A and B are shown apart, each in its own frame.
Chain A
Amino acid sequence: MLDAINLACTRGDRTLFRDVSFTLESRGLLHVAGANGSGKTSLLRILCGLGEADAGDVRWRGEAIRTLREAYWREMVYLGHANALKDDLSATENLHIACVIAGRPAARDAVSAALTAFGLVACAHLPARALSQGQKRRSALARLALSTQAPLWILDEPFSALDVDAVSYLEKLILAYVAGGGSVIFTTHQDAAINTRITQRVDLDAVC
């Protein structure tokens, strides 16, 4: 479904990676590994269309994502380092508007169910600035629970700042999503149980 063909990325005169190629099929769980600064986030940004590769091509169902644009983004969910939460909106409002912008408007019940699943029921109406780092991460991740219809998730460090319960819930969510036909590309430095279920690995330390 998603093909990366000879991707390369340079920053200044330093080559972060080159000749990165892989094909991700449905039910694939791809782990992007690499040390800090090896270009994991750059690779994910290229894969989701936020950044341009210096060489190579990303194709979704055989077509370049550069030409697909909105048609590709409709089918993809990207969760970056930034939580994409507005400090002055509550978790409920944040999740609602995020779903609208992503093109998957969610009903009020579904929004509160997703927040409940991520253990945010008590603070669903607090402004995001009152939440802890982990709670903010949870409310950003709650978007995934409402995006299981999208066939591709690209997750940058999804487990950062989460406690043990949230990590295991997120792992269950990701594995259920993959079992249901979705594909996931993610990075993590943590020793999570999900690492045993990885189907593919791209190691950026090996290709620079």
Chain B
Amino acid sequence: MLSVMRSVIARDLTLAWRRRTDVFTSVIFFVIVASLFPLGIGPEPKLLLAIGPGVVWVAALLASMLALSRLFASDYADGTLEQMLLSATPLSVIVIGKVIAHWIAANLPLVLIAPLLGLQFGLPADALGVLALALALGTPSLSLIGAIGAALTLGLRGGGVLLALLVLPLYAPVLILGSLAVEATAAGLAAQPYLLLLAALSFAALSLAPWAIAAALRISYE
């Protein structure tokens, strides 16, 4: 079972690598959205510092959502998803593999580049580290929750907008905890409780979402 999951991860990462432009577009989207705010607001260090964590998180949320529609769409179009539904391995295991690969290809680059964007808002060094850490702990739950929405809206016309409407409200807890962690660090307080809660959310999503995603995929196929 684990070897099937590994093969699915390797397959999806190979595909992402051969379609690198898709990865770059969501990273560049992230950079542009997060950079528009300092440009629009102007050089007011206090204000920028106050909005920085929230803005970077919202930009990461949107960039991560942008990539979601790709998660199952091409497998659905070319029929490989059909074969996954008929696999001898439980669909939820394959789905975990797909979400892990998606997280590595679409969200890990955001985690790595976020501290650079935080600099634009004058975040102190320790807050930059916490920003990356909070994103690393929080984005897995974004991918998992988002995958449920992506599976439900599969094959629908105008699915992209519907996906955003379904998924963005569910992202709110992650956004709140994530930006609080960074703000707390910038204010000299402990970020640990927020980080632990983010990790807990991700683990809860990991234990529940795969079954929901698998069920949603089967519904989309009927």
- Which of A's residues lie within 8 Å of B, judged by CB? 48-52, 70, 73-74, 76, 78, 80-89, 93, 97-98, 100-105, 127
Contacts and interface: CB of A to CB of B under 8 A. Distances in A.
Given A50-B221, A101-B94, A86 B78 contact: yes
Max chain A Cβ within 10 angstroms of own Cβ: one of B4, B86, B90: B86
Contacts of B94: 101
Nearest to A83: B79
A93 B8 CA distance: 12
B7 interface: yes
Contacts of B119: none
Contact of A50 (B14, B86, B90): B86
A83 B221 CA distance: 17
Interface string B83-120: 11111111000100000000000000000000000000
Contacts of B79: 80-85
Given A82-B78, A85-B78, A50 B85 contact: yes
B7 A51 contact: no
Contact of B89 (A78, A81, A103): A103
A23 B105 CA distance: 47
Contact of A86 (B3, B80, B90, B222): B80
Max chain B Cβ within 10 angstroms of own Cβ: one of A70, A76, A100: A100
Nearest to B11: A97
B18 interface: yes
Interface of B: 3-4, 7-8, 11, 14-15, 18-19, 74, 78-80, 82-90, 94, 221-222
A203 to B, nearest CB: 26
Contacts of B14: 88-89, 93
Nearest to B10: A97
Contact of A101 (B4, B15, B222): B4
B87 A101 contact: yes
B200 to A, nearest CB: 31
A89 B74 CA distance: 13
Q: Is the interface of B mostly helix, strand, loop or mixed?
A: helix
B18 A100 contact: no
A103 B87 contact: yes
A98 B81 CA distance: 11
A51 B8 contact: no
5 contacts: A50-B85, A73-B88, A80-B79, A87-B78, A103-B89
Nearest to B7: A100
Contacts, number: 80
Contacts of A127: 18
Contacts of B3: 100, 105
Contacts of B88: 70, 73-74, 102-104
B91 to A, nearest CB: 9
Nearest to B94: A101
Given A51-B221, A89-B14, A102 B78 contact: no
Contact of B83 (A87, A89, A98): A98
Contacts of A83: 78-79
A84 B86 contact: no
Nearest to A103: B88
Contacts of A70: 87-90
Nearest to B83: A84
B83 A102 contact: yes
B9 to A, nearest CB: 11
A80 B84 CA distance: 13
Nearest to A154: B86
Contacts of A81: 79
A88 B18 contact: yes
A88 to B, nearest CB: 4
A50 B87 CA distance: 11
A50 B82 contact: yes
Contacts of A85: 78-80
Max chain B Cβ within 10 angstroms of own Cβ: one of A48, A80, A82, A93: A82
A154 to B, nearest CB: 10
Given A82-B78, A101-B7, 8 more contacts: A49-B86, A73-B87, A84-B79, A84-B80, A85-B79, A86-B15, A97-B8, A105-B3
